[in-house]
Structure 1
Amino acid sequence: MQVRQPTPAVQTLPSPGAIKVACSNCSLRELCLPMGLSPDELARVDAVITTRRKIKRKTPLFRNGERFHALYAIRTGVFKTCVVAEDGRDQVTGFQMAGEIVGLDGIVNDHHTCDAIALEDSEVCVLPFDRIGELSREVGALQHHLHRVMSREIVREHGVMLLLGTMRAEERLAAFLLNLVQRLQARGFSQSELVLRMTRQEIGSYLGLKLETVSRTFSRFAEEGLIEVHQRHVRILEVERLRALLTPAGAA
């Protein structure tokens, strides 16, 4: 696997002009932080997570090979993580949205092992890893929450392996759409409508499908009345029929 040359350190450390932020006043606090923190514990978290960074669309938050300094809680926007395959193409390994944390890949050897690219103008809160680690040892709920975040990423990776290893194209796309809607619903968005911030090519890379297969499967779902598609706007019309594709009966 190829390793890209690190980009300048401005992408890994908070800039002098970074925006001040207070977790205690953030609407996404319940997604990023554990429930039930006392006012004193929240104040201590606020003292550690003090900066916010804006990332322009198509700009890297960090690159493969860069020194690991911090985790990043996404406040607004969507990111993709990807690695460079042997043939030089980007292989998408995940999509992350508001309330989720990116940068966990860097913990294992103090360097990032993938790229994180903004798919739209985005904003992240910087979680300095050393200071977060120290605080989590003193605030048990925070340490437990970090462990849950890491476990969730492991479960998600296992889910992707299942997608790539056993599912047909229509099953992969159905699972992808249902997962996106579920995650957006947890953030207060519609249960049936979404705007795809990623391209068909990026979806195909993530699902292990060719662009033509992704486009053909979207068209098939639309023809069968499962979804409505208008460019990147998708409306799910028959959620139960989509779910049925993932059951033994639907896969028969």
Structure 2
Amino acid sequence: MDAQSIKVACSSCNLRELCLPMGLNVEEMDKMDNVISSRRRIKRGTALFSTGEKFTSLYAVRSGFFKTCVTTADGRDQVTGFQMTGEILGMDGIVNDLHSCDAVALEDAEVCVMPFDQIEELSREFTTLQHHVHKIMSREIVRDHSVMLLLGSMRAEERLAAFLLNLVQRLHARGFSQSELILRMTREEIGSYLGMKLETVSRTFSKFVEDGIIDVKQRYVHIKDTDGLRRIVNPQTCG
């Protein structure tokens, strides 16, 4: 199948409000359509890109779920993030023209390929896109800072509560439920991301169930008490 036959028009994509700036005129949208001319399908468990690979493109997640991870000095995989539909992958490669992490599909996925040199060229042409690219980069920095805060100062319960709240909030922005989610990642991957041992993750999930805050059936999670999760993360703001 050639690239043209699987061309996706951004102008008619229902995700464009998530991964593209609003306010582009018809001519600008046409130019974006020409840049984002193909998409790739990635099978569960395979890498979209790997550490050390040459950076050429950004990728908008059209469907599916990814994790990004790095290999530590002692050979362990450290999960650095989870990315879902409507989010952008590949920004790690901008600084050195090489990817600094692996991006692995947690389920069968599809991405829109955005060649970075063309995105840069268009950004200089219309400022709406340039501003949007800067906004995405800024969001990544803020997310990194949030994770550092999680790892640096929070207890296990606070870490897992903050993780679940963040995940359901991001899913809700994509039209999913505010209280139900399917975890695409394993307990082990959650532990790697949050700096917790697998047993601690499992024990903390069990405690939340006992306390009536969530229900868990394998990877299905029903949040019964969102305020309860918020109180765990920010006890001082709840009277």
Range into which the TM-score falls when normalised by the shorter chain: over 0.9
Q: In structure 1, how many angstroms separate the alpha carbons of the residues matched to 2:85 and 2:236?
A: 35
Residue 140 (1) aligns with residue 127 (2): yes
The TM-score with structure 1 as length reference comes to 0.92
TM-superposition CA deviations, 1:183-232 (whole Å, max 9, x none):
00000000000000000000000000000000000000001100000000
Q: Look up the equivalent residue of 1:60 and give its one-letter code.
A: A
- State which of 196, 220, 242 in structure 1 corresponds to 2:183: 196
Are the equivalent residues in 2 in contact too, given 1:81–1:95 (CA < 8 A)?
Answer: yes
Residue 184 (1) aligns with residue 171 (2): yes
Counterparts of 1:191-230 in structure 2, within 5 Å, are: 191-230=178-217
Structure 2: gaps spanning 5 or more residues: none
Residue 160 (1) aligns with residue 147 (2): yes
Residue 41 (1) aligns with residue 28 (2): yes
Describe the shift of the 1:15–1:55 C-alpha distance in structure 2 as closer, same or farther (beyond 3 A): farther
- SS of corresponding position for 1:94: strand
Counterparts of 1:91-170 in structure 2, within 5 Å, are: 91-170=78-157
TM-superposition CA deviations, 1:150-176 (whole Å, max 9, x none):
000000000000000000000000000
- State which of 1, 19, 26 in structure 1 corresponds to 2:6: 19
Identical pairs, percent = 69
Q: Look up the equivalent residue of 2:36 and give its one-letter code.
A: I
Are the equivalent residues in 2 in contact too, given 1:18–1:53 (CA < 8 A)?
Answer: no
- Length, aligned pairs only: 238
Are the equivalent residues in 2 in contact too, given 1:19–1:53 (CA < 8 A)?
Answer: no
* Consecutive aligned runs of 4 or more in structure 1 exceeding 2 Å deviation: 14-19, 248-251
Q: In structure 2, how many angstroms separate the alpha carbons of the residues matched to 1:246 and 1:80?
A: 24
Q: Using the TM superposition, give the Cα deviation of residue 139 of structure 1 relative to its aligned residue in structure 2, in angstroms.
A: 1.1
* Residue of structure 2 in register with 1:31 after alignment: 18
Are the equivalent residues in 1 in contact too, given 2:47–2:104 (CA < 8 A)?
Answer: yes
State which drifts further: 210-219 or 239-248.
239-248
Structure 1: gaps spanning 5 or more residues: 1-13
Q: Look up the equivalent residue of 1:37 and give its one-letter code.
A: L
The TM-score with structure 2 as length reference comes to 0.97
State which drifts further: 15-24 or 88-97.
15-24
Q: Using the TM superposition, give the Cα deviation of residue 36 of structure 1 relative to its aligned residue in structure 2, in angstroms.
A: 1.2
Q: Look up the equivalent residue of 2:91 and give its one-letter code.
A: L
Q: Look up the equivalent residue of 1:89 and give its one-letter code.
A: R
Q: In structure 2, how many angstroms separate the alpha carbons of the residues matched to 1:18 and 1:241?
A: 49
Q: Using the TM superposition, give the Cα deviation of residue 87 of structure 1 relative to its aligned residue in structure 2, in angstroms.
A: 1.4
* Residue of structure 2 in register with 1:171 after alignment: 158
- State which of 51, 56, 64 in structure 2 corresponds to 1:64: 51
Are the equivalent residues in 2 in contact too, given 1:18–1:52 (CA < 8 A)?
Answer: no
Are the equivalent residues in 2 in contact too, given 1:74–1:98 (CA < 8 A)?
Answer: yes
* Residue of structure 2 in register with 1:81 after alignment: 68
- SS of corresponding position for 1:190: coil
Q: Using the TM superposition, give the Cα deviation of residue 19 of structure 1 relative to its aligned residue in structure 2, in angstroms.
A: 2.2
Q: In structure 2, how many angstroms separate the alpha carbons of the residues matched to 1:250 and 1:85?
A: 37
Q: Using the TM superposition, give the Cα deviation of residue 135 of structure 1 relative to its aligned residue in structure 2, in angstroms.
A: 0.4
Q: Using the TM superposition, give the Cα deviation of residue 140 of structure 1 relative to its aligned residue in structure 2, in angstroms.
A: 0.6
- SS of corresponding position for 2:233: coil
Q: Using the TM superposition, give the Cα deviation of residue 108 of structure 1 relative to its aligned residue in structure 2, in angstroms.
A: 0.2
TM-superposition CA deviations, 1:56-114 (whole Å, max 9, x none):
00000000000000000000000000000111110000000000000000000000000
Q: Look up the equivalent residue of 2:64 and give its one-letter code.
A: G
State which drifts further: 18-27 or 219-228.
18-27
